[in-house]
Amino acid sequence: MTSPAELAAVDAARRRAAVVGTGLIGGSIGLGLRARGWYVTGRDNDAARARRALELGALDAVGDDPGAALVFVATPVAAVAAEARRALAASPLAAVTDVGGVKAAVVAAVDHPRFVGGHPMAGSEQEGVDGARPDMFEGATWVLTPTEVTDVNAYTAVRSVVTELGAEVLALPADRHDDLVATVSHVPHLAAAALMAHAAESAEEHAALLRLAAGGFRDMTRIAAGHPGNWPDICAENREAIVKGLDELMAALSSLRDLVVLGDRPGLLDALERARHARANLPGRGERPARLAEVRVPVPDRPGVLAEVTTLLGERAVNIVDIEIAHSTEGPHGVLLIVVDAEAAPRVREALGGRGYRATSSPLE
């Protein structure tokens, strides 16, 4: 019989994580995990930055950890694939994930059962590990991009730790992530940079201009204060979606310009009212639902099922509170157990039924 001390040792071994890249996001992951009892090692191409992460308490030790259960790759996008492959080889039992803002190219380049692409929609205008916070991800959306080859255990391990950090997981296909994030992150950053650059150039002729910058201007250009170093890689890796988004933004601005030129008050008021309504209805940071339901989905025990089910629900804005798979000992099938908001359970069953799955649900008390 296993003693309590032996069980504690096994649990401690499972709660070992490694962080590759100890900047703002990597440092915040380290701080968040250590605050929750994890042992965290980390490394960085800049040795001074890794030492600083250690000084600030984001790491327990500098270096690699072959016994890590989970590895976060928090490097610039261009380096993610190579570092993820290195981590998969160096830590043979670990699930490996990343935090890059572009997913399709990375997921295609790594293509390994233990790799789960990820992207936390969180950040700060602060630079480097000195701006890291243990609560960086609380209430934030964290996208995961499982594929046909993703191992169920690797996905559930990454998902569990991400939710432990306080984030809400959204599963999406990698290419769909890139299209959407171009609209809500990449294009807004470039637009803010363009607006700030325009104001700065105008200020050369009108010295008082930037002194007049009030709340609205500061809110719109806040993200332009972020570190520019990652953006050339992001724009290169997600060029097509970003260009499409910029074209759509320029078309929208052109339409507003026409309304102003024509003095079309009703048209302008309508456009502004629609924007105001859309802004007011942006979803807030999520809270755990008051009532939960467990959805049971019989599935064939084959690659691709997890990605299909989780991304299907992600596209329908269904928050998966918990997920696991019960494997059958009697054949190549199992049952996927998904915990969701009880109010969402009927549409979850409907969506899965449309893909040929026979799902049932029951409330959790």
Give, in degrees to the nearest 5, the angle at Cα 303 between 298 and 304.
80
Query: What residues contact 320, with CB distance under 8 A and at least 6 apart?
Result: 159, 169, 171, 310, 313, 338, 339, 340
Helices (H), the chain: 4-14, 24-35, 47-55, 77-90, 104-110, 152-164, 174-181, 187-203, 215-221, 231-237, 239-262, 265-280, 305-315, 345-354
Torsion of CA 71, 76, 77, 81, to 10 degrees: -40
pTM of the model: 0.83
Could you report the per-residue pLDDT of 106-162, keeping only the tens digit for each? Answer: 999 999 999 999 999 987 767 789 999 999 999 899 999 999 999 999 999 999 999
pLDDT at 194: 93
Q: When comparing pLDDT for 288 and 227, which is higher?
A: 227
pLDDT at 227: 78
Query: What residues contact 182, with CB distance under 8 A and at least 6 apart?
Result: 238, 241, 242, 244, 245
Query: What residues contact 49, with CB distance under 8 A and at least 6 apart?
Result: 22, 23, 128, 129
The residue ranges of every structural domain in the chain are 14-172, 177-280, 292-364
pLDDT at 208: 65
Residue type, 44: D
Quickly state the pLDDT bin for 328 (edges 50, 70, 90).
low
Of all residues in the chain, the percent with pLDDT exceeding 90 is 66
Are 28 and 49 spatial neighbours (Cβ–Cβ below 8 Å)?
no
Domain 292-364, CATH homologous superfamily name and number = ACT domain (3.30.70.260)
The span from the CA of 300 to the CA of 332, in Å, is: 6
Domain 177-280, CATH homologous superfamily name and number = 6-phosphogluconate dehydrogenase C-terminal like domain (1.10.3660.10)
Query: How many C-beta atoms lie closer than 10 Å to residue 299's C-beta?
Result: 20
Are 173 and 313 spatial neighbours (Cβ–Cβ below 8 Å)?
no
Sign of the Cα torsion 142, 146, 152, 154 reads: negative
DSSP state, residue 186: I
DSSP state, residue 21: -
Structure tokens at 6: 């032996």
Q: Does residue 3 surpass a pLDDT of 50?
A: no
May I ask the CATH class of domain 14-172?
A: alpha beta
Quickly state the pLDDT bin for 284 (edges 50, 70, 90).
low
pLDDT at 2: 38
